[in-house]
Amino acid sequence: MIRPWQVWLAFALGAAVVLGATGWASWTALRLDRAKAEALRKGALEENVRLALWRMDSSLSSLVAQEHGRPYFLYTPFYPAERAYTRMYSRIEPNEVLMPSPLLTFEAAEVKLHFQIGPDKEFSSPQVPTSNMRDLAELGYRTPERIEAASALLKELKRHVKPEELCKLLPASSPAAGVVGQVADLPHNPAQQLGERYRPASQALLSQQEQQNRQGNSLNAAQSNAANPNWYQTSAVGEGVLKPLWLDGELILARRVQANGQTWLQGCWLDWPRIEKNLLAGVSDLLPQARLEPITGAVSADDTRLLASLPVRLHPGALPVEAANGITPVRISLLIAWVALLLAALLVGFVLWQALALSERRGAFVSAVTHELRTPLTTFRLYTELLAEGDRVPAAKRATYLETLRREADRLGHLVENVLAYARLERSRPGGRAENIALGTLLERTRARLADRAAQAGMKLEAALPENAGEAVVRADPGAVEQILFNLVDNACKYAAAAPDKTIRLEGAVDRGAGRAAVVVRDLGPGLRDTRRLFQPFSKPAQEAARTAPGVGLGLALSRRLAREMGGDLACDMRVAEGARFVLTLPLAAT
C-alpha cells in the first residue's frame, strides 16, 4: 500500500524537476534577451554618437572655416589698403590709406579674442589698438570700455600661452597662391610706424566709399603683381593651416605665418565653456548624459568618438533604452508561463491533497462503519439465537430481546439512511423537495420521533415554540429537516446521557428582518471541546468510535450539507456556558 508521504515525495520530486527545467529555460531566455537588448542598446548608442558628432562638427565648421579664411593682414587694427595682399609687412610710407580690420569690431560669443605674436614674442590683438591706432579706433570703431576689456583678455592670454611652446606645436607654413608679397625691412610692430607717421588720426581716415574704391584698386594691383613673374623673387608670405590646440586648459586656434625669414603666430582664443554648453545642448535629445573631454596628447587612429574640428573626445554616457530594463515580450511570455506553471502545480497539489484526505476519510469511514455494523450484527445473532430456543425463553425476556432487536435495527437503519443521503448529496442529487410549510407544523411532524429517540436514551424532550414562530412559513424540505433534527437529538442522546439534567430543549425563533427562522437544539451535557473537525465527514476513526458513543462521524456533516441545500445553515453556538447548542436556520417563504 502506498503511504501518503510516498505520494507527497513523488509529487515534490516531480515538481522540482519541472520547476528546475523551467527555471533553466527561463534563465537562458532571459540571458539571450538581455544580450539582444544590449546589442540593440549599443547599436542605438553608436548611431546616436555618429549623429551627435556630425551635428557638433556641422555647428563648428562655420566657425573654423571663418577663422581659417581670414587673411594674415587682418590681425592688426589697421592695415594699408594698397598693400594688403602684396607688401603688408614692408615699411609703411607716408600718406598711405589705412583700412580698419574687420577684427577691430568683431564680436562673437564663441571667440574671446584674436591675437598675434610677433618675432619678438610680443602679443598684440586687432581688438587692442595702441598709440595712435587707439585714437583712430576710438573715433567710431571701438569704445574705450571694449578696448580695455579686450586688453584684460590679452593679458590673461599671455599667462596661458607660451610663444615657444605654441610655435613647436604648429606645423610649418608655406607660401600660398595669392597670399604672397614682396617683403622689405619687416617691422616688429607696424603700429609704431603708424603712430609716428599719421597725426592727427582724423586726417588718415577716408570715407567708406573711398576706402572701398581703394581696396578694389589694391586688389587689382595685387592680382597684377601676382601675374608678374618677377614680383615674388625677393620673398613671400606663407600662411600655415589654422590648428586647434589646448594650452594650459584653454582652447586656441593658431597658425604660423612666415614673412621675410621670420615667424608670426596668429589665431584666436575660443570660449570653450560656452562652446561646450552649446554643443551638448544641440545633442541632448540624442545623448542626454554626454560630456566632452579635451584631448591634449596623441590620439589613436581608430578612435571613432573624436570631433573632426576640435581636439575633443565625446563621452556619450548611458543611453536610456527602455527595452533593456523594461518589460519585453520574452519577459511577458516567461511571466505568463511561470504563473500558469505555479497555478498548475498548486492545483495538482490541491487535488492530490483532497484525494489523499478523501482516501483517509473513506478509510476511517470504512473502519468506523465496520465497527458500527459489527455491534448490531453481533446483537442480532445473539438474540436471534436466544429467541430460536423457543419455549425455553421466558415471555418477559422475549419482550426485552425483541425491544433490543428493534432498537439495534433502528440504529442500523439510521446509519444506512445517513450514508445514503450523503451519497446522494455527493452526486448532487438531493433526495427531497423544498416546499412552503409553517414552522410549527414542520416541528410537530418530527416531535414524536425525536421524543421517542430521547426516551430510548432515558432523556426528555422539551419543545418551546413561540406562537409567532409557529405561524412563520419557511421554505424547506420536511424530510431533510426531520433528518437534521434527528441527528442533533441523537448526538445529544449519545453524549449528554450521563448529564445530571437529562433534558433536550427544542426551541424556535423568527427574524423577519433577516428573512430567517431558527430551530435550536440544546443539551446540558459536557459540551464540545474540539470543534475543528466537527462538520467534517468521516472524521471519526475506529479507535475513537470504540472509546466514545457509537457513530461514524457523518451526522453533523450531512446535516450541514442538507441545511445549505435548502438555503439555510447549521452552526454550533460556542457562547453557551455548558452543554452543546446547535442552531438550524431556514429561509422564510416569500409572501
- How wide is the angle at C-alpha 403 spanned by C-alphas 402 and 406, nearest 5°? 85
Residue 394: asked if its preceding bond is cis (omega within 30°), the reply is no
Residue 385 placed within a domain: yes
174 Cβ contact partners less than 8 Å away, ≥ 6 residues apart: 238, 240, 258
Q: Residue range 402-415: average pLDDT? A: 81
pLDDT of residue 37: 81
579 in any annotated domain: yes
In a domain, 290, yes or no: no
Both 502 and 364 in one domain: the answer is: yes
* Helix residue ranges per DSSP H, 71-142: 131-138
For 78-87, 105-114, 195-204, 506-515, which range has the lowest pLDDT when averaged over its residues? 195-204
In the structure, what pLDDT confidence band is assigned to residue 161 with cuts at 50, 70 and 90?
A: very high
Note whether residue 491 is domain-resident. Answer: yes
HSE (CB half, 13 Å, CA atoms) of 252?
28
pLDDT of residue 558: 86
Question: Do 229 and 134 belong to one domain?
Answer: yes
Residue 392 lies in a domain: yes
In which band, very low, low, confident or very high, does the pLDDT at 84 lie, cut at 50, 70 and 90? low
For 333-351, the pLDDT digits (tens) are 989 999 999 999 999 999 9
Question: Residue 247: CA atoms inside 13 Å, Cβ hemisphere, count?
Answer: 25
Name residue, grid cell 610680443: 122
- Looking at the 3D structure of the chain, how many domains does it have? 2
When mean pLDDT is compared over 84-98, 254-268, 360-374, the highest value belongs to: 254-268
pLDDT at 208: 42
Secondary structure percentages of the chain, helix, strand, coil, to 5: 50, 15, 30
Give the residue-averaged pLDDT of 374-399. 79
In this structure, the answer to whether residues 366 and 469 fall within a common structural domain is yes
Neighbours of 502 (CB within 10 A): 18
- Say whether both 381 and 507 belong to one domain: yes
Mean per-residue pLDDT of the chain:
80
- Verify that 365 and 504 share a domain, yes or no: yes
- How confident is the model at residue 430, as a pLDDT? 57
With CA atoms as reference, report the closest residue to 455 among 526, 501, 504: 504
Name residue 357's amino acid.
A
Between β-strands 291-294 and 262-270, what pairing exists: parallel, antiparallel or unpaired? unpaired
Q: What's the confidence (pLDDT) of residue 7? A: 86
| Among candidate residues 248, 270, 292, the one where a domain is terminated | 270
Contact 529, 491 (CB under 8 A): no
User: 323: pLDDT confidence band, cut at 50, 70 and 90?
Assistant: very low
- Spatial separation of the C-alpha atoms in residues 167 and 266, rounded to whole Å: 10
What letter represents residue 522's amino acid? R
- Report pLDDT digits (tens) over 191-238: 433 333 333 333 333 344 444 444 444 434 434 443 443 333 334 678
Mean pLDDT of 536-553: 56
Rounded CA separation 539/363 (Å): 10
pLDDT of residue 317: 87
Mean pLDDT of 469-494: 89
Residue 90 near residue 182, CB atoms below 8 Å: yes
Residues 178, 479: Cα–Cα separation, whole Å: 125
Task: Please check whether residue 359 lies inside any domain of the structure.
Answer: yes
Q: Domain span at residue 246? A: 69-270
Cα 294 to the chain's mean position, in Å? Answer: 37
Is residue 21 domain-resident?
no
Please state, for a pLDDT cut of 90, what percent of the chain lies above it: 34
- Domain contains 345: no
Average pLDDT, stretch 432-457? Answer: 88
Same domain, 427 and 522: yes
What digits encode the pLDDT tens for the residues 287-299?
999 999 999 887 7
Give me the pLDDT at residue 86, please: 52
- Burial class (CB within 10 angstroms; exposed 0-12, middle 13-18, buried 19+) of 109: exposed
Q: Find the CATH number of the domain harbouring 462.
A: 3.30.565.10
pLDDT at 260: 77
- Domain boundary at 225, 244, 270, which? 270
In this predicted structure, the answer to whether residue 367 has a pLDDT above a threshold of 50 is: yes
Which three-class secondary structure state does DSSP give residue 253?
strand
pLDDT tens, residue by residue, 99-110:
888 999 888 889
256 HSE (CA, 13 A, CB side) = 17
Q: Looking at residue 383, what is its pLDDT?
A: 81
User: How high is the pLDDT of residue 302?
Assistant: 76
401: burial class by Cβ within 10 Å (0-12, 13-18, 19+)?
middle
- Rounded to two decimals, the pTM is 0.50
Domain boundary among 270, 292, 319: 270
pLDDT band at 179 (very low <50, low <70, confident <90, very high): very low
